[in-house]
Every structure is written in structure tokens, then in C-alpha cells.
A = this chain, B = another copy of it.
């Protein structure tokens, strides 16, 4: 029941930005500071900080002060929840690939 309280809206919205997805990818290597996450992304620190807040609100990362820095780490639960949602579609991935053509031919589906 780990991923019950996950807000898929917030999670998918957060994932819908390449900067944020890149930040998550960076965090696969381990926890990182805000400045660290911001560095590769030609934008101000304030801008990056906002992205990080979006990720944190979505529950995708968790952050905590460490001295004057802020350390952020990946939080896997929401990703798993998203993956689970997508998995409900796994049944389709085998067949049904041309559902549209079939439907166009049949007009009615039994």
C-alpha cells in the first residue's frame, strides 16, 4: 500500500518537463544538492529551485538541510505508482494493435 497516497496528477505533471526528468536521472547516482542539480541546466538557481520544489511536492524527491546546503534524494514510491498505472495498459501491448482499423471495418463491436 506504499503508493496509495500518491497524487498521479502531480507526479505525471512533474515528469512532463525535461529539466525535471533530467534532475531525477541525476539523482539516480545518489543524493545531490540544489546547486548540484541546477548546474547542468542553463537557468538561474531560483529557477532550478522551483523545479525541485515541484518534484518535492509530487513526492518524487525528499530534501533536507545539511549545513548551508539542501540535500535531495530520489523517493521511489511515486515512480512506482506511475509505473503501476501504466501497467494497467500492459494487456494492450501484445495485441489490439490495430483496434482502430478493426473498429472502422466493423462499426459495431459485437
CB-CB under 8 A from A64, the residues of chain B are 100, 104
Interface residues on A, range: 35 or more
Q: Is A43 an interface residue (CB 8 A)?
A: no
CB-CB under 8 A from A97, the residues of chain B are 76
Copies in the complex: 2
Q: Are A96 and B76 in contact (CB under 8 A)?
A: yes
The secondary-structure label for the interface of chain A is helix
Interface of chain A residues 16 through 40 with chain B (CB within 8 A): 16-18, 21, 24-25, 28, 30-31
Interface of chain A residues 74 through 110 with chain B (CB within 8 A): 74, 76, 79-80, 82-83, 85-93, 96-97, 99-100, 103-104, 107, 109
